[in-house]
Chains A and B, each alone.
Chain A
Amino acid sequence: MDWTAYLPMLWQGAVVTMTITLASIAVGTVLAFFFGILRVEGGPILSAIALCYTEVFRGTSLFVQLFWFYYALPLVGLSFDPITTGILVLAAHAGGYGAEIVRGALTSVSTQQLEAARALNFSRFQTLFRISLPQAVVEMMPAFGNLAIETLKLSSLVSLISIADLTFAAQSIRNITLDSASIYSITLLCYFAMSLVLMVAIRVIEHFVRRGDVFPRTRH
């Protein structure tokens, strides 16, 4: 079998990988902002809950989390298909790391900005959404970029809970053809290419965030 014959199968896997990665990044970003903001603004109880969330998902291995939820969710009556489970776990994992990024960026907004907001009689809500977040988002972008690449890489683990992603496709082809060298080389190059595309996409978003009128850059 010529190596070009592998490509259709690998492409199907790559589509699944991209879907899972993008979905996890999207859900993970929401979780990251939700728990990150809770950490900073939540008051003692809510921020403690958010702290537990980040510590649990950052402290236990993603590998363990995937299998845990794969076996545990059906026991409490929540039966998702593996892809949904994979996306949710990856998103929760990325959300744990992302929440720390959001918290870090929010706490690094200069206190003068907050004082100015208070002097102008902004409510807490307005301060957060009009002052803190627009500045913090700019600071978050590089870290979120790394997290997105990390999520893409970690998405390969979902192949172990029987999701037919790129790694799974590579494994199945190898099991038939035993042509390890070319299959894994192509697979690694595919992941590399996807990472590069993701990186470019993040740069574009970062560029937009930095200069857009929506988020004026006010740091001097």
Chain B
Amino acid sequence: MMYGYEWDTTTWVTYTTSILPIILIGLTVTLKAAAAGFAIALVLGLIFALLRRSRIQVISWPTALVVEFLRDTPLLVQLFFLYYVLPDFGIVLPAFLTGALALGLQYAAYTSEVYRGGIEAVHYGQWEAATALNLTHMQTYRDVIIPQAIPRIVPAMGNYLVAMIKETPVLSVVTVLEMMGLANMIGERTFEYLVPLTLVGLIFLLLTLICSAGLHRLQKALPKAGIPLR
């Protein structure tokens, strides 16, 4: 994908404008990876959180161990593990999906804690009322607990999304050509690393600031009482 692009390294201005289009292509990959990873993290995290709350200890204990393990080991090594070991078991995924899966797994461990905190923060009277109304376990979660937990969960989730966006450059080590991977590649060809890296850094900074501002507004817009799922 580098073919067809020319860069002009005479001054930093021309250099920046000539590499900006290709870096922006990288930006879309970065955002896609973060979106895919975050989707995995949201679903898997909820599963982890519910399994961990299980009363059956054979389920809750191993889940706790897995979550702790995922939380306390580096994303980079987890990524290498998935990238090199999954094919040994016959699971061959494209690098992008492996990367999204690695991001998703690591952040599932974080989001499961957020879910757990959010669920536990719902007053126990709500559980009692649900029992008194003869709601099933499933109904209680779906109609009572999770709708009230959402406003508490969303801000923390948003923070993790921002954190995840900033960790996507790690995917470049397994050949995913996102922003950082492209910037390094341009650097290798021109021997001028500073401009592309600064550009990528500034784009990250801008992204983070925009996301934080958006989050702040979202947090204010959320109804405190809860969001019905149906």
Residue on B with the closest CB to A146?
B71
* B12 within 8 A of partner (CB): no
Dominant secondary structure of chain A at its interface with chain B: helix
Q: How many residues of B contact A (CB 8 A)?
A: 35
- A154 surroundings in chain B (CB, below 8 A): 74
Please judge, given known A-B contacts A64-B180, A181-B85, A184-B81, whether A157 and B76 are in contact too, CB under 8 Å: yes
B85 A61 Cβ-Cβ under 8 A = no
CB-based nearest B residue for A156: B74
A5 within 8 A of B: no
CB contacts (< 8 Å) of B76 on chain A: these are 156-157, 159, 167
Binds A, one of B53-61, B91-99, B120-128, B166-174: B166-174
Q: Which residues of B contact A72 (CB under 8 A)?
A: 193-194, 197
Interface membership of A56, Cβ < 8 A: yes
Chain B residues near A46 (CB-CB < 8 A)? none
Chain B residues with CB under 8 A of A129 = none
**Cross-interface CB contact of A64 among B88, B200, B209, cutoff 8 Å:** B200
Could you tell me the distance between the alpha carbons of A154 and B167 in the complex, rounded to whole angstroms? 10
A68 touches B197 (CB 8 A): yes
Complex contacts, A65 vs chain B, CB 8 Å: 201
Chain A hits for B69, CB < 8 A: 188, 192
Q: Which of B54-113 contact A (CB under 8 A)?
A: 69, 71-78, 80-81, 84-85, 88
Chain A residues contacting B43 (CB-CB under 8 Å) are none
Complex interface: chain A residues within 8 A of B81 (CB): 180, 184-185, 188
- Which of A61, A184, A187 makes the CB contact (< 8 A) with B166? A61
CA–CA, A63 and B168, complex, Å = 9
Q: Which residues of A contact B166 (CB under 8 A)?
A: 59-63
Q: Does B15 contact A (CB under 8 A)?
A: no
A61-B166, A71-B197, A188-B81 given; A56·B205 CB < 8 A: yes
| Shortest CB distance A165–B (Å) | 10
Binary flags per residue of A70-81, CB closer than 8 Å to B gives 1, else 0: 011001000000
Q: Does B9 contact A (CB under 8 A)?
A: no
**Complex contact B84–A188 (CB within 8 A):** no
For B80, B88, B194, which residue has the most chain A Cβ atoms within 10 angstroms?
B80
Q: Min CB distance, B15 to chain A, in Å?
A: 14
B169 with A61: CB separation less than 8 A: yes
Contact A67 B205 (CB under 8 A): no
* Bound CA–CA A107/B180 (angstroms): 37
B197 pairs with A61, CB closer than 8 A: no
Q: Which residues of A sit under 8 angstroms from B201, Cβ to Cβ?
A: 60-61, 64-65, 68
Given the contacts A167-B74, A170-B77, A180-B85, A63 and B169 also touching, CB distance less than 8 Å: yes
**Please, which residue of chain B has its CB at the minimum distance from the CB of A184?**
B81
Question: Is the CB–CB distance between A71 and B208 below 8 Å?
Answer: no
Query: Which residues 145-189 in A have Cβ within 8 Å of B in the complex?
Result: 149, 152-157, 159-160, 167, 170-171, 174, 180-181, 184-185, 187-188
Give Cα A184–Cα B170 distance, bound, in whole angstroms: 17
Tell yes or no: B204 within 8 A of A by CB: yes
Name the A residues within 8 Å of B80 (CB-CB): 167, 170-171, 174, 180, 184
**What does the 1/0 interface line of A39-75 toward B look like (CB < 8 Å)?**
0000000000000000110111111110110011001
When distances are taken between beta carbons in the complex, the residues of chain B under 8 Å from A180 are 80-81, 84-85, 88
- Cα-based distance from A159 to B74 in the complex (angstroms): 12
* B72 and A192 form a contact (CB under 8 A): yes
Contact A59 B77 (CB under 8 A): no
Say yes or no for B184: interface residue by CB 8 A criterion: yes
A63-B169, A68-B197 known, 4 other contacts, Cβ within 8 Å: A60-B205, A72-B193, A75-B194, A152-B74
User: Using a CB–CB distance below 8 Å, which chain B residues touch chain A?
Assistant: 69, 71-78, 80-81, 84-85, 88, 166-170, 172-173, 180, 184, 187, 193-194, 197-198, 200-202, 204-205, 208-209
Cβ-closest 5 pairs across A and B = A195-B72, A180-B84, A156-B74, A63-B169, A71-B193
